[in-house]
Structure 1
Amino acid sequence: MPAEPQEWADATAAALGAALGAAVDDGQFPGGVLVAGQIGAGRAVAACGTVAPECGAARPDEHTRYDLASLTKVLATWPLIGTAVRAGLLDLDAPLHAAFPQLPSPGRELTTAQLLSHTAGLLPRTGLARYEHTGRPLVEHLCAEPLVSAPGAHHRYVDRGFILLGLLLPDLLGHPLPALADTLWRGLGLTATAYGPLPRDPGLAPTEQRLLGAPRTWGVPHDPSAALLGGVAGHAGVFSSAADLAAYAEHLLGADGPLPQWFALSRRPRTAVEPGLHRGLAWLVTADGSVAYHHGFTGTSLYLAPRTGRYLVLCTNAVYHGWDRARLAPLRALALRSLLPGG
């Protein structure tokens, strides 16, 4: 018999919290927080460690803010693209030049769906520094670069597509990206979610110290391309809390409305990533369609199980000691298994 919603949330938070605590005790990163919940029922929170040594004895909780890194893609760019599609301003399967005739080739022939599903064939290395001081808009540089594969032929996770979409959204929707995102988040009641820069305080987790003796990255994006763009980009730059991410998950898993409908469309498989895993529009989707999720490079994750209404949020600053993908791999795998049928 399936566990009752609160029972499931409590048991899942306890199991994942133990795994999170083991990683913190092993010195892999300072601390973190996770939320397990089910729409229409309760949530359970587990937190471990400290926010960071710079924050003294402050311990993380569901209101601690973390650098979301690539969760920006699904917290800002993806829902705003949905807004543009619903308004008839953008056709997912039309070439970009239908809405932006000024764009150069070959990028002007790409579709929004290809950019969202990471099948556009764009260069895998972002390298925005090469475009500094050229006097040419970045959006033109991104579109003028040669493709590395035929559009739609291969899945290759890159940031360029979402950077491009983030640059195009203001022209479509008539306001700067931070203003568009802020209006979206406030409408959903997400009060801790924002683009930086943010002031340093014990409720905001710092990330990496890139050079010995240099200031630690704190309140500005860890992602170098987002930093070059002033902290506001379509692929990275957003900060948020586990509580806000849980609230966002509940909006996406809702029974009706524009956002749940966009999520339902977006989690349809578009391209294979690896055995048992597909990419929809932005989201990774298990082969059986039971879970859609996305990760952030800094150590954040958001998992959604539409059939059960369950979700998991993970917020850490796992890059605090430099990045090693093995640090979070077991915890992320456990989180995914806990949402799969029979998990």
Structure 2
Amino acid sequence: MQDSVWTAATAAALGAALAGAVDGGLFPGGVLTVGRAGGERVTVGHGLVAPECGDARPGPHTRYDLASLTKVLATWPLVGAAVRTGLLDLDAPLRAVLPELPSPGNDLTVRQLLTHTSGLLPKTGLARYEHSGRPLIEHLCAEPLVSPPGSRHRYIDRGFILLGLLLPAVLGRPLHLLAEDLWRELGLTRTAYGPLPRDPQLAPTEQRLRDAPRTWGAPHDPSAALLGGVAGHAGVFSCADDLAAYAEHLLTGASPLADWFTESRRPRAAVEPGLHRGLAWLVTDDGGAAYHHGFTGTSLFLAPATGRYVVLCTNAVYHGWDRARLADLRTLALRTLTG
């Protein structure tokens, strides 16, 4: 199918599915962008940003809490830069970089952290370490492992939290400054770590306590909130327009970032039939797609062979935690991208 026809048809189909979810009361609104690297881009929005934002409608510049898309928008590219310059070795133990780290975590590798095969504790639970006086990175490494490193895939946040603490030690600057430099170099002008000022074009997420204000401009993820909003696994806010631009950087040309994406989408660990984990990214067995989700209601789908992509931004946790709210739309996006 011709790219312009595919883009228009896919935007219409996914837009109708998004409208159905919004009209069904699953969440206040959302926006999606469908495009091809170097080609046309179509953005469709439905509903409201949120009732707190008045009559503001979601559009290409509406900011959403990306949640776990932080892993591939901040931590993963920064790890790639450190690997490319020789400051990190994917297969060297962490103690090669920070000898003072305790065991058993000091024997883990960056590759195991990126592929979610580290065996670190599945529950994040950072609150247990409050007021201990010990660096968080040491706590994470000192906890017992639940499985031998490299033996199985288990999606957890702890590995990327650990990477987010490791990167400043390796690269010599705070994580948010490293990320800001990366995003500005790529032209992503509305991508930032929070907290951010409340704004009608910044989508609120969940009301944690009855009669309390919603989480708005601060990360929905409680562990990222404990870390002041800046973490390796969550905390970044962005918009559909910036995510589409990022997708095009990954899919176009022979830049270092595109090369790192090529390396990272090779299957590394089995997740389920037909699906593997690469370095951070989920990848289909046939190589047709690489993608990642954010718990708050965001997704980024990429098709390397065709250069096509789908960006999805919603505040699907507005009415509480329910992964089913976006399941059908995400499945449709993936099927449309690879079909």
Q: TM-score range by the shorter chain?
A: over 0.9
Deviations 1:280-316 (CA, angstroms, capped at 9, x unpaired): 0000000101100000000000000000000000000
What does residue 196 of structure 1 align with? 194
* RMSD, aligned CA: 0.5
Find the partner of 1:236 among 218, 234, 237: 234
After TM superposition, list the pairs within 5 Å mapping 1:40-189 onto structure 2. Answer: 40-189=38-187
* Residue ranges of structure 2 left out of the alignment (5+ in a row): none
Counterpart Cα distance in 1 of 2:208 and 2:169: 35
Counterpart Cα distance in 2 of 1:77 and 1:40: 25
Counterpart Cα distance in 2 of 1:224 and 1:126: 10
Q: TM-score under structure 1 normalisation? A: 0.98
2:179 aligned counterpart, secondary structure: helix
1:326 aligned counterpart, secondary structure: helix
1:337 aligned to 2:335? yes
Counterpart Cα distance in 1 of 2:38 and 2:221: 35
Deviation at 1:159, TM superposition (A): 0.1
1:19 aligned to 2:17? yes
1:211 aligned counterpart, secondary structure: coil
Deviations 1:222-278 (CA, angstroms, capped at 9, x unpaired): 000000000000000000000000000000001211000000000000010000000
Find the partner of 2:243 among 228, 242, 245: 245
Counterpart Cα distance in 1 of 2:325 and 2:160: 26
What does residue 38 of structure 1 align with? 36
Q: TM-score under structure 2 normalisation? A: 1.00
Deviation at 1:215, TM superposition (A): 1.1
What does residue 268 of structure 1 align with? 266
Deviations 1:35-70 (CA, angstroms, capped at 9, x unpaired): 000011110111100000000000000100000000
Counterpart Cα distance in 2 of 1:27 and 1:323: 14
Counterpart Cα distance in 1 of 2:294 and 2:38: 27
Deviation at 1:212, TM superposition (A): 0.6
Counterpart Cα distance in 1 of 2:242 and 2:25: 27
Counterpart Cα distance in 1 of 2:105 and 2:223: 19
1:44 aligned counterpart, secondary structure: strand
Deviation at 1:99, TM superposition (A): 1.2
Counterpart Cα distance in 1 of 2:23 and 2:231: 34
Question: What is the one-letter code of the residue matched to 1:287?
Answer: D
Deviation at 1:6, TM superposition (A): 1.5
Counterpart Cα distance in 2 of 1:137 and 1:322: 32
Deviation at 1:191, TM superposition (A): 0.1
What does residue 5 of structure 1 align with? 3
Question: What is the one-letter code of the residue matched to 2:274?
Answer: G
Deviation at 1:339, TM superposition (A): 1.1
Counterpart Cα distance in 1 of 2:197 and 2:4: 36
1:308 aligned to 2:306? yes
Residue identity (%): 76
Deviations 1:82-118 (CA, angstroms, capped at 9, x unpaired): 0100110010011111111111100000000000000
Counterpart Cα distance in 1 of 2:209 and 2:9: 41
